[in-house]
Amino acid sequence: MKKLSKQSRTSFFTYGGVILAYVLLQLYNGQVGLSSMIQGLLVPICAYVTMALALNLVVGVSGELSLGHAGFMSVGAFSGTAAAIALQGVIPLAPLRLAVAMVIGALFAALAGFLIGIPVLRLNGDYLAIVTLAFGEIIKSVLNNLYVGFDTTGFHFSFLADTVSPRMAEGGKLIIGGPMGISGIPIISTFTAGVVLVLVALVVIFNLVNSRAGRAIMAARDNRIAAESVGINVTKYKMIAFVISAALAGAAGSLYTMSLSTIVANKFDFNTSILILVFVVLGGMGNMWGAILSATFLTLLPELLRKFNLDQYRMLVYAVVLILVMIATNNPFLQRVAGNAAARFKRKKPAPAVEGGQSHE
């Protein structure tokens, strides 16, 4: 343990936590049985966790506020799902088809991220936030007007109006139907696949952050001028973070959509982007395990409130609890209490002293 750096320790702690949670849940499900509600939520939670990790790479590590990440999620969702439906006859094995779909979703989202990144990453601060917001809405509008069909001769595309259906050969299927989105999606996402995706996202992010490129990204975040003065190509490194983040978001989108049987582009609107940003902010910017915990907690919270006869006030209570949590985590008094408790806990253990205070990787 002593030889491991602080970063490695954090990353192993996070991998371990995710795997432990997975094993415990599987054991519990085997022995006692989880309720249908929780079982149904497992895959969306994995998707949201991956989204939070992806956005954390941009917001926390790269230091740029992106308000359009749901857009990349939708690009991945639509392309990945369309691929999964088209490949149904080619790859009969569902987990393999899911993996291929997620890779395709990630590639398309990365492409979208790259194209959007070219103009966007020349900006910084508030301007960047507003432009990403606009691009998120543009992606939504484009997908709302996109028609994709698939038949024996391959894919057919049309835009604005459905000219696909008449052109298709016998047995063809309209996959993406503009504002109707995709219907009748085969449900092939599994909790295991979700956990694997979360682990992949963690490996990618931790290895990036602890690499030369990662240090360059953080240098550009902390002081752009200083970073440029030592020869770091700021736009290039920001682009690396942005594209990787978009790819992860795309894979998460594919996973998410294939756990539901239907999807529309309007699902991935501004509100979803903000929701994911809330996960990141609550978990602590740049803090990966914090993002995992907050995404899980905030996805579960409104659903668990159903159990307490709060049906009608559920969303209101959710909002108030959110405010409460935000205040509590920023409350100096409570932070001091937590800090003291942590210090006392550490003193009892003769283990190697850990630096106090907030970690910031």
Q: Which residues bind another protein (CB under 8 A)?
A: 33, 35-37, 39-41, 44, 141, 144-145, 162, 178-181, 183-184, 187, 256, 260-267, 303, 306-317, 320-321, 323-324, 327-328, 330-333
Q: From the CB of 65, what's the least distance to another protein, in Å?
A: 22
- At how many degrees (to 10) do helices 69-86 and 94-120 cross? 140
Q: CB-wise, 233 or 331, nearer to another protein?
A: 331
Q: CB-wise, 40 or 119, nearer to another protein?
A: 40
What is the DSSP code (8-state) at residue 312?
Answer: G
Q: CB-wise, 200 or 300, nearer to another protein?
A: 300
Contact (CB, 8 A) for 26 and 90: no
Q: From the CB of 315, what's the least distance to another protein, in Å?
A: 5
Of 15, 40, 11, whose CA–CA distance to 306 is shortest? 40
Q: CB-wise, 25 or 321, nearer to another protein?
A: 321
348's CB contacts (< 8 A; 6+ apart) are none
Q: From the CB of 354, what's the least distance to another protein, in Å?
A: 28
* Helix, strand, coil in percent for the chain, rounding step 5: 70, 5, 25
Q: From the CB of 241, what's the least distance to another protein, in Å?
A: 28
If DSSP states are collapsed to H, E and C, what string results for 28-56? HHHHCCCCHHHHHHHHHHHHHHHHHHHHH
User: What does residue 261 show for φ and ψ, rounded to 5 degrees?
Assistant: -100, 0
Of 210, 239, 234, whose CA–CA distance to 222 is shortest? 234
Residue 184 half-sphere exposure toward CB, CA atoms < 13 A: 8
Contact (CB, 8 A) for 273 and 136: yes
Q: From the CB of 41, what's the least distance to another protein, in Å?
A: 6
What tokens appear for 288 in the block?
């990966």
Q: From the CB of 187, what's the least distance to another protein, in Å?
A: 7
Q: CB-wise, 156 or 267, nearer to another protein?
A: 267
Q: From the CB of 307, what's the least distance to another protein, in Å?
A: 7
CA–CA separation, 123 and 134 (whole Å):
14
Q: CB-wise, 5 or 35, nearer to another protein?
A: 35
Q: CB-wise, 180 or 208, nearer to another protein?
A: 180
